[in-house]
Amino acid sequence: MSAGNKIWKKGAVLVTGAAGFIGSHLCRRLLAEGATVRGVDCFLPNYSRKIKEANLIDLITNKAFSFFEEDLYCAPIPKLLKDVGYVLHTAALPGVHKSWGQNFGDYIRNNIAATQLLLDACKGTDLVSLVYISSSSVYGDSKKSPLNERMPTQPVSPYGVTKLAGEHLALLYHQSYQIPVKVTRLFTVYGPGQRPDMAFYRFINTITEGKAVDFFGPPTPARDFTYIDDIVNGILACARFGKPGRIFNLGSGTSQPLDKVITILADIMEEELTINQVGHQMGDMLSTHADISRAKKELDYQPRVKIEEGLRQQTQWQLG
């Protein structure tokens, strides 16, 4: 029996949102560790289905991986949960800016209602762990930094509101039905496979085309950018070691000025850079910086990839 089989021996791992950026990376790592993985995704139209299908190409050829194209809102969830020991719930409709107005109904359906149905189906099962993947968006614009899990939450976008509602549902089901729920709050994730609507992906394309990069927000916005491999390490550690009912920040533990990061990108690409200062976008947090001391202590979480190396990896993937 391999080391991976020993790690994930208590049932298959169900990954929701398996065709997405983070979900597909999780599936890939789990398979490498010898797990039996069950992926589910409904291919939401927030970006091209072809990109999501490409994320699955190397997965579907693995005999330990099975894929189900299902919408959790109306899927036969009890059947998906059969013989499952771990659930990694990454499925969600992402995007801060699109969550305003009439689109909000889609966020309620996919981020809140579908999560409740999944949690309800987990009642009475023998799950070892259910990790709900949340977002730093739940914090809003706190005046204190770095952000820790004990701080008040006050999202500044409808998307953040739905992720916070999902957290509350998950923790409620833990309290009421003893489902072994853990929550991870992710800070801006990047790297190979990043969604095309995310900032670094757009910046790389814009710089390649010789156009000015639109720089939104105040003069010096800063973000905690976290490389995908570090995030995967944190989520899997949470599944294995996290105490049920706990919330864990997963970030790099550093905050990078956005203008500096764009300059690093241009240097890596050996391209000239022009920045177009644009006003603040509604729903954007002014800055993010994760306090990861709890994850370090309880999960042995140690982010290792520096921003320069991470950006180099994403650029090589995106332009290659």
**pLDDT tens digits, residue range 186-214?**
999 999 999 999 999 999 999 999 999 98
Instruction: Check residue 278 and give its pLDDT.
Output: 79
Instruction: Check residue 276 and give its pLDDT.
Output: 85
Instruction: Check residue 96 and give its pLDDT.
Output: 94
The domain locations on the chain are 3-190+225-253+289-304
DSSP of the chain, one letter per residue? --HHHHHT-SSEEEEETTTSHHHHHHHHHHHHTT--EEEEE---TTS-HHHHHHHHTTTTTSTTEEEEE--TTTS-HHHHTTTEEEEEE------SGGGSGGGHHHHIIIIIIHHHHHHHHTTTS--SEEEEEEEGGGT-S-SSSSB-TTS----SSHHHHHHHHHHHHHHHHHHHH---EEEEEE--EESTT--TTSHHHHHHHHHHTTPPEEEESSSS-EE--EEHHHHHHHHHHHHHHPPTT-EEEES-S--EEHHHHHHHHHHHHT----EEEEPPPTT--SB--B--HHHHHHH-------HHHHHHHHHHHHH-
Instruction: Check residue 217 and give its pLDDT.
Output: 63
Residue 159 designated active-site: yes
Which residue in 86, 159, 190, 227 is the catalytic one? 159
Instruction: Check residue 122 and give its pLDDT.
Output: 98
Q: What is the pTM of this model?
A: 0.96
Task: Pick out the chain residues at pLDDT < 50.
Answer: 1-4
| Domain 3-190+225-253+289-304 class, CATH top level | alpha beta
